[in-house]
Structure 1
Amino acid sequence: MSADVRSFFGRPIIIGGGIAGLLTALHLAPEPVLLLSRTPLGADASSAWAQGGLAVSLGVDDDPALHLADTLAAGDGLCDAEIATRILHAAADAIETLATLGVRFDRTSEGALLLGLEAAHGRRRIVHAGGDGSGQEIMRALVEAVRSAPSITVVEGVEARRLAVEDNTVRGVWASCSMSPVFFGTGRVVLATGGIGGLFLDSTNPSGSCGQGLALAARAGAVLADLEFIQFHPTALDGPDRPMPLISEAVRGEGATIVDETGRRFLEGVPGAELAPRDVVARAISKHLSKGHRAFLDVREKPGSAFARQFPTIASACRVAGIDPAYDLIPIRPAQHYHMGGVAVDPDGRSSVAGLWACGEVASTGLHGANRLASNSLTEAVVCARWVAESVAGSPIGVRTRSKAREIPAPNPLSLRPLLSRALGVKRHGEFLRDAVSAMLPLAELHHAASDPAAVGLMIAVAALLREESRGAHYRTDFPDLAVFARRSRLTLDGALATAREFACSSTLEELEQ
């Protein structure tokens, strides 16, 4: 980068160029802000791939209390009802903010917002923009707004690798660029780089999203929460492409059915059938596939001829795969899609490390619980971005110090994907989780390209191993029942490493005894 980094000292730094990061930067105006993006804005952000839209109770038969009830039911006992209530009541204003920024939402001929239906929602309350291209349309508007905002300096092609922390307080960010490591001194950092799809073989997320925000927070000593809860979308397009094209839940909301190779609707015995919560549908499909069957989405009758018009992105992906949804069944299988866990934050997005905030998928606010309700994630990011910005703006600049330069290798999760996919899939077992923990422990402690992904994977696996029950998206075949008491999990990297070493020692003792 050509600018003198000293000119940015003291500015709030936002790490991540998705919806959460862009909106936080915009809400901080007119205060000067530095936004770091690993790729050109919008090029590799999970936000741009979002199809489902934003959940908001705007219908005449709906209200935030009904939306809350559906959210709590999907969260399977682990949602923070207070923060969920606050977020869902603020959702309508957040939609208006996006519209003011130029987002072109889908509307009726009278100008009212069109409301769609998705699984586990009791009412039509999903607001779309461009049909199934909601994330892309929102990103278009926000990128344009950020590019034209004089208070925001966007630095692309620079990746944050470590946070400088002293006395549990952020002092700056070490980042990589084409020349050498560069240090940005600041006492205010916002993590907005979510997504862990790059840790898995089958995911609907960009392959470059491998938990970098979680690694930054964990290496800084922050507390992370609910890491074991990973949502698998039940209807990813089953083909050779990776990442896997997503087939939005909204398609089932419009009447599409799930069948096997014989044409049988094998979900008919499941409460809610195709519109059951995602974890339920994903496990049912996974179980059917394990018996040698195949699974398909049938859109021929519903949405029928309206499919290509309502879902142009999905229709295009089908055409590329040689599928004509008007005549053909669409092959599907579950794939990693969203992480409910993340950096533990308070209602204003503050982490346990002073001067460090988190917003979007990288944060764990308590809204999603054990299983995110469809389309609540974009709503959360849009709503919380304002609160985070207000908190950052009201915080002290902090001491401008410089820490010793370190060359941190770019994260590369490639070697870990088979291991994590096996241990942390739709169904889990303690034996596979222990194997994963043992394999990742030495990697997490090295200075290696796989070390940060291994640290994130290790923390998730330890959290999954410690939760000896099945709840929401976390299903243990060796502990298939719910525990008596619902509890959220909390974990630091040091705690996870210590637990992993205990597992390793106990495993060694068991082997010696045998």
Structure 2
Amino acid sequence: MSTVVVVGSGVAGLTAALEADARGHRVTLLTKASLADGSTARAQGGVAVALDGPDVRRHVDDTVAAGAGLVDPTAAHAVCGGGPDALAALVCLGAGFDRTSDGSLARGLEAAHSVERIVHAGGDATGAEIARALVAAVRASTVMVREDAFALDVVVEHGRATGVRLLDGEVVPADAVVLATGGSGQLLGRTTNPSVATGDGVAMALRAGAHVADLELVQLHPTVLPDGFLVSEAVRGAGAVLRDASGHRFLLDVDPRGELAPRDVVARAVARRAHEQGRPVVLDATALGAEQLAARFPTIDAHLRELGLDWSRQPVPVTPAAHYAMGGVVAGVDGRTSLPGLLAIGECACTGLHGANRLASNSLLEGAVQGRAAVRAIEDGPRALAPRPGWGAPEPVTVDGGTDAFTRAELQSLMWDVLGVERTEPALTRAAARLAAWAPPAPTDPKSAEDANLLVLARATVEAARRRTESRGAHQRADHPRTDPSQALHRVLHREGA
């Protein structure tokens, strides 16, 4: 029986905690806010799962195609193949998914999927239902839950992770540390992410000397309201279209798949058309009708009506915003990292599943599959992840230094300007110099600790974007617009001197 510390309470962390508890391990779950906070509960999209045996191969193919040459096929096979069991486990925990009149699971279509395989709950409240079921199960288990507990750093002794140091200085010892801290959306000024998404796990891993990769690959969601509220891709899957200021459905001019092209394609097209015309692009869902919109997308419908908008009668303005981090702590599907005793799962991990562009609704799936697989890895002992083909040799980055104070708003504005829809070397170089001049704040409270983590991530992300001198998936270099086959590898970084 091992002592396991799980940091984070999204689908990945909650699943891992429950699985470890069920298998007899002593589990402590740390979350810096409450169990229900985080991105999982906000996820409108569903769970992409191949319920029919032959569809697993198609799901893998769709994942690989969307990932723009960077998907690890082994990871794709493991996650897509593990989908049915992971979904069944959620159902057993009481998660209620939408069903058809005959009682079978209802399945929808989202961008870059070749068939309808997206399972939803409550129409556009899938994440909320999954979080509800998992939180209830954790509350009923013997997992020790510590809310408002900010994990500051991984404790490393004799070359392996042995626990977590909290903000107040307390050390929580562990045979295995599982990072499940979610994404880093708050790194950029325009984001769909909740305020807690400050990339803490990735920054912790970097400081501990673990390898991270692909930080430059930040997925933008193409249909976000001006107030930052996301309009699910499932809306376009149901038939909504994007129109420019003249009313033209312009996506078909860009890609034959139109609104269901991969997210990176749609996001760039939306941003460029808005820039060209000086007016926002609109999402037109009027053809779906008020009754279908309210029934199928109740959360979005209610939010729009609170804003005084009736999307059944009038298109609504949308814009791209940062949504998902494909990069993170280098990990296997089982969570193993380059540091023995440290595992990373969910959005804070980089398994190679998402490549350079995440396939819609693969993230909840990944968290559910990884959460279970990580416990099996813990039981196999604290071994490091073996080096894998296609992952470049680690390159150093600096996480310390600088003397100037900064504000989070300044950092977010800078990062959106240089890492938004398009990047250029001059802008990235200027950003790197400015970031190097800023001093990481002393972590005296959660806000300053988050700011310190964001600065670590900002420096590493800008450096990764400078090193990838090509355009691939979510990484668009205006000064290097072509994809360079010689750069089809994962950019791996580690702390300088680690």
Output the TM-score relative to the length of structure 1.
0.87
Aligned pair 1:99/2:91, yes or no?
A: yes
Where 2:288 maps in the other structure, the secondary structure is: coil
Per-residue CA deviations over 1:131-163 (Å, capped at 9, x if unaligned) read: 10000000000000000002x000001110111
State the AA in 1 paired with 2:3: R
* Residue 346 of structure 2, aligned match among 347, 360, 368: 360
Residue of structure 2 equivalent to 1:332: 318
Distance 1:444 1:49 in 2: 33
Distance 1:446 1:274 in 2: 43
1:13/1:186 contact within 8 Å kept:
yes
Which is further off, 463-472 or 324-333?
Answer: 324-333
Matches within 5 A, 1:428-447: 428-443=423-438, 447=442
Aligned pair 1:220/2:208, yes or no?
A: yes
Q: How far did residue 393 of structure 1 move?
A: 3.0
Where 2:123 maps in the other structure, the secondary structure is: coil
Residue of structure 1 equivalent to 2:453: 452
Matches within 5 A, 1:357-506: 357-395=343-381, 413-443=408-438, 447=442, 449=448, 450-485=451-486, 486-494=488-496
Where 2:431 maps in the other structure, the secondary structure is: helix
Matches within 5 A, 1:302-313: 302=288, 305-313=291-299
2:2/2:26 contact within 8 Å kept:
no
Distance 1:317 1:205 in 2: 17
Distance 1:157 1:446 in 2: 20
Gaps of 5+ in 1: 1-8, 398-410, 498-514
Residue of structure 2 equivalent to 1:114: 106
1:440/1:455 contact within 8 Å kept:
no
Residue of structure 1 equivalent to 2:398: none
Distance 1:53 1:417 in 2: 29
Aligned pair 1:140/2:132, yes or no?
A: yes
Residue of structure 1 equivalent to 2:188: 200
Which is further off, 159-168 or 227-236?
Answer: 159-168
Q: How far did residue 10 of structure 1 move?
A: 6.8
Residue of structure 2 equivalent to 1:275: 260
* Residue 174 of structure 1, aligned match among 165, 170, 195: 165
Q: How far did residue 438 of structure 1 move?
A: 1.2
Distance 1:316 1:197 in 2: 24
Per-residue CA deviations over 1:455-479 (Å, capped at 9, x if unaligned) read: 1111111001000000000000000
1:75/1:369 contact within 8 Å kept:
yes
* Residue 284 of structure 2, aligned match among 275, 281, 298: 298
Q: How far did residue 396 of structure 1 move?
A: 6.1
Residue of structure 2 equivalent to 1:287: 272
Q: How far did residue 181 of structure 1 move?
A: 2.4
Where 1:313 maps in the other structure, the secondary structure is: helix
Per-residue CA deviations over 1:238-266 (Å, capped at 9, x if unaligned) read: 2xx3xx11100000000001012322112
Flag the 1:126–1:412 CA change in 2: closer, same or farther, 3 A.
farther
Residue of structure 1 equivalent to 2:387: none
Matches within 5 A, 1:28-43: 28-29=20-21, 30-42=24-36
Residue of structure 1 equivalent to 2:403: none
2:330/2:337 contact within 8 Å kept:
yes
Where 2:496 maps in the other structure, the secondary structure is: helix
1:10/1:185 contact within 8 Å kept:
no
* Residue 234 of structure 1, aligned match among 222, 245, 249: 222
Residue of structure 2 equivalent to 1:506: none
State the AA in 2 paired with 1:165: V
Aligned pair 1:160/2:160, yes or no?
A: no
Gaps of 5+ in 2: 384-405
Aligned pair 1:124/2:116, yes or no?
A: yes
Paired positions, count: 465
Residue of structure 2 equivalent to 1:56: 49
Q: How far did residue 58 of structure 1 move?
A: 2.2
Per-residue CA deviations over 1:281-340 (Å, capped at 9, x if unaligned) read: 000000011121321111110365301110011111111221111112111000000000
**Aligned residues: percent identity?**
44
Q: How far did residue 446 of structure 1 move?
A: 6.2
2:75/2:332 contact within 8 Å kept:
no
Distance 1:294 1:412 in 2: 29
Q: How far did residue 346 of structure 1 move?
A: 2.3
2:184/2:325 contact within 8 Å kept:
yes
Output the TM-score relative to the length of structure 2.
0.90
Which is further off, 331-340 or 321-330?
Answer: 321-330
Distance 1:302 1:316 in 2: 16
